[in-house]
Amino acid sequence: MFASFSFFIFLSFLVIDLFVDKDRRLTETPYALFLNNC
């Protein structure tokens, strides 16, 4: 339950940041590093 909830928050931050700053998202954010490691 907690894992799915935290994953939902993770996805919501991804979606929000898509509209905020795409260039910064690709270079400076923790989940950009996470996506690069996958």
Instruction: Give the structural domain span for 30.
Output: 2-37
Q: What is the pLDDT of residue 38?
A: 60
Please report the pLDDT score of residue 1 as a whole number: 66
At 12 the pLDDT is 85
Burial 1-38 (b: 16+ CB within 10 A, else e): eeeeeeeeeeeeeeeeeeeeeeeebeeeeeeeeeeeee
Tens-level pLDDT at each residue, the chain (38 residues): 678 888 888 888 878 777 766 666 555 667 666 776 66
pTM of the entire structure?
0.39
At 7 the three-state DSSP class reads: helix
Structure confidence at residue 28 (pLDDT): 63
Are the CB atoms for 32 and 25 separated by under 8 Å?
Answer: yes
How many independent structural domains does the chain possess? Answer: 1
